[in-house]
């Protein structure tokens, strides 16, 4: 699953870079950071020592930005998101701690508003999109390609941050993002688990990355 989502990011990055090279007035951001996921869990045991939580994890993404107006940009994002669950089993059960890592793909369309102040700038960006999770339907037997299903959830995202420009108007970007999901993405059940988990892909995350201004390429091509 990890390789599937990472391959999508690289393919989109290659396609986007070839188009941006010719057109200019585009930015391409590559970013990553940590995230705290949020979920709901129904406890199936009365033992108070059985607990579940989602540890901190990370995400990677690519953001294509094209100028719509002086301060507005259209954003198209593709993101790979890790969502772990850590369950502590009851004392005396013979089990310790179990950690399961889910991997989601997130694809979003948004609008970014910018306040540029010379060598730095601020932005806010609301987006809507969809989160995806490929999982195995364990009710149909062992894990196989035939038993693999796709869960989808609409998501709403808001992010804000700061950009630090260099002399070529490329930039480092630092920001915070909040994502809210609508539908349950977690469909696989742990064997012997004491919880039913409902995860919609919601998370709070910090990210940092690098933005490439493709106007530099169009200017260089024009000079040549």
pLDDT of residue 29: 98
| pLDDT at res. 15 | 42
DSSP for 136-182, please give it. Answer: E-GGGSSS-GGGEEEEEEEEEEEEEEEEEE-TTS-EEEEEEEEEEE-
pLDDT of 163: 97
How many Å is the Cα radius of gyration of the chain?
21
Domain locations in the chain as residue ranges: 2-223
Over residues 107-114, mean pLDDT:
98
Q: pTM higher than 0.75 for the full model?
A: yes
User: Under CATH, what is the fold of the domain 2-223?
Assistant: Porin (2.40.160)
């Amino acid at each position: 699953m990890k390789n599937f989502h990472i391959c999508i990011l690289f393919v989109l990055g290659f396609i986007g870079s070839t188009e941006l090279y010719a057109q200019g007035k585009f930015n391409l951001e590559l970013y990553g950071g940590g995230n705290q996921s949020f979920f709901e869990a129904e406890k199936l045991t009365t033992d108070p020592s059985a607990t579940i939580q989602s540890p901190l994890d990370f995400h990677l993404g690519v953001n294509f930005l094209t100028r719509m107006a002086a301060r507005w940009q259209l954003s198209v994002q593709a993101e790979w998101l890790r969502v772990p669950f850590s369950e502590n089993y009851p004392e005396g059960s013979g089990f310790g701690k179990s950690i399961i890592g889910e991997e989601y793909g997130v694809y979003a369309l948004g609008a970014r508003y910018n306040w540029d102040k010379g060598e730095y700038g601020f932005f806010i960006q609301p987006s809507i999109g969809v989160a995806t999770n490929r999982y195995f339907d364990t009710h149909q037997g062992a894990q196989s390609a035939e038993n693999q299903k796709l869960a989808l959830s609409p998501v709403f995202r808001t992010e804000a941050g700061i950009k630090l420009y260099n002399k070529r108007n490329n930039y480092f970007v630092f920001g915070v993002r909040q994502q809210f999901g609508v539908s349950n993405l977690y469909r696989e059940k742990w064997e012997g688990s004491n919880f039913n988990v409902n995860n919609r892909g919601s998370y709070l995350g910090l990210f940092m990355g690098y933005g490439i201004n493709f106007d530099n390429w169009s200017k260089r091509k024009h000079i040549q």
